[in-house]
A and B are shown apart, each in its own frame.
Chain A
Amino acid sequence: MSNEAHEKAEISRRDFLGLASLGAAVISSLTVLTGVLRMFKPNVRYEESTKFKIGKAEDFPEGTVKKLDERGLFIFSKDDGLYAISAVCTHLGCIVNQTDWGFQCPCHGSRYNEHGKVIAGPAPRNLDWHEISKTVDGILEVDTAKSVPAGTKFKLYA
């Protein structure tokens, strides 16, 4: 190997060592950082689960509307079945009130018709519909984490 090539190789070897150590330091600190950041996401959530039981079919006689206040959910019971519309405004999360023409959000003026479709105001999406299903022991259940297309109804006597 010629002298210069040799020197170049040597220099690069010394540089290589510098670079390697620097790289190791950076990578290790990054992993520590991500470990620390991961700490911010709790493994268990200190809150009620999004899937909950709402009661028996008989609790929702035909033609009535029930607002489950503590869950922010409206349960409608019509002759062709039961369906659940979320009361959480899709704009910024306030709980909407029911009016004769549909729903009205008190915080920023968003309005929805009685099927939860946005008709005025800043709300970006329609109100979520959630699926009502029957558990094995015959109690009705809703999962607010999963939203279903508007119009899905739970047929009482299918």
Chain B
Amino acid sequence: MRNRFFSWILFLSGVVLLIFTLIAAYREMTPEWKKYQAQYKEQIIKTAKDNAVRQKAGALASEVQQIYLGALNKIDRCVSCHIGVENPMMDNAKLPLKQHSGDYLKNHPPDKFGCTVCHYGQGRATNKKEAHGIGHDTHWDFPVMPLKYIQSSCTQCHDYEMLGAKGYDTIAKGAKLFTEKGCRGCHKLNGIGGALGKKLDIVGSQPIAYFPMRFVEGERNTYNWHKQHFADPRVLVPESQMKISVKPEETDLLATYVLSLRSGEMPKDYRKIKGIMTVGKPDEGEALYKMFCIACHTDGKQSYFDEIFNRTIPAIVNKAFLKTADDKYIKKTVEEGRAGTQMTSWKTAAGGLAEGEINKLISYITKERPSAKPERFNIAGFKPDEKRGEELYKVRCALCHGKKGEGELGINLRNPVTQAADPEFLALTVRDGRTETPMPAFGKKGIGLTEKDIADVVSYVKTLSKKK
């Protein structure tokens, strides 16, 4: 048979086929976890005190170990490599055989909880790279969580007060910070909060693609994103209006808290929660102020022009303001908010504050109201001339309040609340101005605005919202 050419091809490819099949079989037979399980077995035999343990170790079969969690419909195979996680003899072994730190496994037995419920990572994987989910090519949204944020997983079953009491202070402090940085001024959580920022209900479970990762340094995952976003929001999201000033160590605490806001409910028999899972709503005025208003109004005493909002944020605890504004007007502003500006409406239908809470908030704000009543202006006594009012407005007020009253250094006058405000209050404000803020007292001698002028200006201001 001299058919040599094809015979050669047949022979050679047959050999290659055989070699690679064998190599593939070998690779299949020697996965990573086998190495660790062998080390584990050998270490037990070495350190075993009595023979019984040694026999048992000797009989240990080397195979994929997995925890099947029906209730959580998960399968965790981390214990294939981390085989010694429950074994006290392994407390000083090196990773991955090391025993789990602390006594967490006592009250969280792995066969009921598994590992990924707290540590994240890809439970189904049987090799280190894909199990930890590190690196873009693993295409896994929840890589193993750095230990400094691990307490964010506790709140799936426990509530913040209990965690704080038991010494888990990272998450407890993070939750407290969340209530004190005024985050809910812009972010809604459980239906309560402002509507400028994104809802935070399931932010902890959002995939990586949900966050713009362009400017993140280091590994591109949600943990780094949250930490660097708290450090400086505008580095990651250039057009963000987030107003936050946070010390470096606080970024980790807040990141832990934010990562604890997850979707999905743990099955009932896992949960040990007294109150609702998220931070409760405080009841006194000051705590409410800290939770909702502090981010923008800071202590409320100073009014300043904000370069992020491109608008002035009024001083709401300013004595001159409290002197002239009555509780009804302040309540209306808090409830309706100021349409067209970043001031959200806080009534139950929108921001979600109850009637009682708004009253407590206002009583806190108006605590330092000076007792002296301002001298009456009785605007009703004047016949307003809008034409002249417009004239005066153009020269004296447009400089700060804007041609159409949209507001820049001066506050926005077009919104429905100011338009519906009591003219007496407006006239008083123009006449007496606001000390400690840029608003001058136009009624003072020597500046030339007579009471009649003020009445005309006020009547014109009332027509501002109609001007297109």
Q: Assess the A58–B339 pair: CB atoms within 8 A.
A: no
Contacting residues, chain B, for A100 (C-beta < 8 A): 239
Q: Assess the A64–B195 pair: CB atoms within 8 A.
A: yes
Contacting residues, chain B, for A42 (C-beta < 8 A): none
Q: Assess the A58–B345 pair: CB atoms within 8 A.
A: yes
Contacting residues, chain B, for A64 (C-beta < 8 A): 195-196
Report if A121 contacts B (CB, 8 A): no
Contacting residues, chain B, for A66 (C-beta < 8 A): 195
| Min CB gap B173→A, angstroms | 31
Q: Assess the A56–B350 pair: CB atoms within 8 A.
A: yes
Across chains A and B, the number of contacting residue pairs, with CB separation under 8 Å, is: 28
**Cα A62 to Cα B341 with chains together (Å):** 8
Q: Assess the A59–B340 pair: CB atoms within 8 A.
A: no
Contacting residues, chain B, for A79 (C-beta < 8 A): 339-340
**Cα A151 to Cα B340 with chains together (Å):** 20
Report if A35 contacts B (CB, 8 A): no
Contacting residues, chain A, for B351 (C-beta < 8 A): 58
Report if B344 contacts A (CB, 8 A): yes
Report if B337 contacts A (CB, 8 A): yes
Q: Assess the A60–B340 pair: CB atoms within 8 A.
A: no
Q: Known A56-B349, A56-B350, A100-B239; judge A62-B339 contact (CB<8 A).
A: yes
**Cα A100 to Cα B239 with chains together (Å):** 10
Report if B132 contacts A (CB, 8 A): no
Contacting residues, chain B, for A56 (C-beta < 8 A): 349-350
**Cα A100 to Cα B100 with chains together (Å):** 49
Most buried by A among B195, B344, B351: B195
Contacting residues, chain A, for B347 (C-beta < 8 A): 58
Contacting residues, chain B, for A59 (C-beta < 8 A): 195, 350
Which B residues between 171 and 209 are near A, CB-CB below 8 angstroms?
Answer: 195-196
Which A residues between 90 and 127 are near B, CB-CB below 8 angstroms?
Answer: 100
Q: Assess the A61–B239 pair: CB atoms within 8 A.
A: no
| Min CB gap B245→A, angstroms | 24
Contact with B along A25-48 (1 / 0, CB 8 A): 000000000000000000000000
Contact with B along A50-67 (1 / 0, CB 8 A): 000000101111111010
Q: Assess the B349–A58 pair: CB atoms within 8 A.
A: yes
Q: Can you list the 6 inter-chain pairs with the closest CB atoms, starting with the nearest?
A: A58-B350, A62-B339, A58-B349, A61-B195, A62-B340, A56-B349
A-B contact pairs, 22 of them (CB 8 A): A56-B349, A56-B350, A58-B345, A58-B347, A58-B349, A58-B350, A58-B351, A59-B350, A60-B195, A61-B195, A61-B344, A61-B345, A61-B350, A62-B340, A63-B340, A63-B341, A64-B195, A64-B196, A66-B195, A79-B339, A79-B340, A100-B239
**Chain B residues packing against A (C-beta within 8 Å):** 195-196, 239, 337, 339-341, 344-345, 347, 349-351
